[in-house]
A and B are shown apart, each in its own frame.
Chain A
Amino acid sequence: MTTKVQAPAAAGDKMGSGDAVASGASPALVLLAGWLVPGAGHLLLGKWVRALLLMISIVGMFAIGIALAGKVYTPNTGEPLDMLGFAGDLGAGLLYLLARALGWGQAPVLVAVADYGTKFIVVAGLLNIVAAVDAHSLASGRKQS
C-alpha cells in the first residue's frame, strides 16, 4: 500500500513563499488585518478579487444579521452558550466593536427570523476567522496560491 506524502516546498521556492515575499507583509500582520477587517489580509497579499468577495460575503452576512434584529452577544453573562456566541461574534473584528459601540443587536430576540439574524452574526465572525487564517497560510507559504 502506498501513501501520498506532500513534500515541503524548498526555501525560496516560488510556490512555497511567493506571496509573503511578493507582498512583503508578515504573516502575523496579515492575520491581524484579516481579523480586524474582513478581506484585508488577502488585500495585503495583492489578492484583491478574493479580498472583495470575502469582504462582501462577511460584511453582508453581518449586516443582514443586524437588519434581521439578531442578537450581538456580550461577555461575562455567565451562560456557556452566550460565551460561545460571544467568541463567534468577536471573530468579526472591528464589525463587532462597531456593533457594540452603536448599540446594535441589543433588543430581545422575539421572532424566528431574529434568531436567524443571531446565527448570521455568529457565522459571519467564524467565517472571518477562517478567512484570516487562510490569508495567514498564504503569507507563511503553507498554502500555495
Chain B
Amino acid sequence: MNLSHFSAVLLFSLFTSIVFGITQRAEPKKMVRFGAFCFALFVVGTVAASWAMWLIKP
C-alpha cells in the first residue's frame, strides 16, 4: 500500500477525530461538531506546520 503524504494526513485526521468526537462529548450533536472541529484543526495545523518548516529551512 502506498499513500501520499496528504492522504495519510486526511486518514489520520479522520479516524482520530471520530474517536475524539465520540469520547470527549456526551451528546451526538456535540460529538459531530467536536469531531469536525478536530478534523479541521488537524488538517489546517499540519498544512500550516508544513509551510512553517518550508519557510525556516536553511
Among A56, A68, A127, A134, contact of B16 (Cβ-Cβ < 8 Å): A127
How many of B's residues come within 8 Å of A, CB to CB? Answer: 17
**What string of 1s and 0s marks CB contacts (under 8 Å) between A48-82 and chain B?**
00100110111011001001100000000000000
Given the contacts A50-B22, A53-B22, A134-B23, A127 and B15 also touching, CB distance less than 8 Å = yes
Does A144 belong to the interface (CB within 8 Å)?
yes
B19 near A127 with CB under 8 A, answer yes
Among B2, B22, B27, contact of A134 (Cβ-Cβ < 8 Å): B22
Tell me the residues in window 7-54 of chain B with beta carbons closer than 8 Å to chain A beta carbons: 8, 11-12, 14-16, 18-20, 22-23, 26-27
B11 near A64 with CB under 8 A, answer yes
Q: Distance in Å from the Cβ of A106 to the closest Cβ of chain B?
A: 17
Main SS at interface, chain A: helix
In the bound complex, what is the Cα–Cα distance between A40 and B16 (angstroms)? 18
B2 near A130 with CB under 8 A, answer no
B1 near A131 with CB under 8 A, answer no
**What string of 1s and 0s marks CB contacts (under 8 Å) between A119-145 and chain B?**
110011001001101100000000111
B12 near A123 with CB under 8 A, answer yes
In the bound complex, what is the Cα–Cα distance between A50 and B26 (angstroms)? 11
In the bound complex, what is the Cα–Cα distance between A64 and B10 (angstroms)? 13
Given the contacts A113-B2, A113-B3, A116-B3, A143 and B26 also touching, CB distance less than 8 Å = yes
Given the contacts A120-B12, A143-B26, A57 and B19 also touching, CB distance less than 8 Å = yes
Extra A-B contacts (7), CB below 8 Å, given A54-B22, A68-B3: A58-B19, A60-B15, A68-B2, A112-B5, A116-B3, A127-B19, A131-B19
Interface residues of A (CB under 8 A from B): 50, 53-54, 56-58, 60-61, 64, 67-68, 112-113, 116, 119-120, 123-124, 127, 130-131, 133-134, 143-145
Interface residues of B (CB under 8 A from A): 1-3, 5, 8, 11-12, 14-16, 18-20, 22-23, 26-27
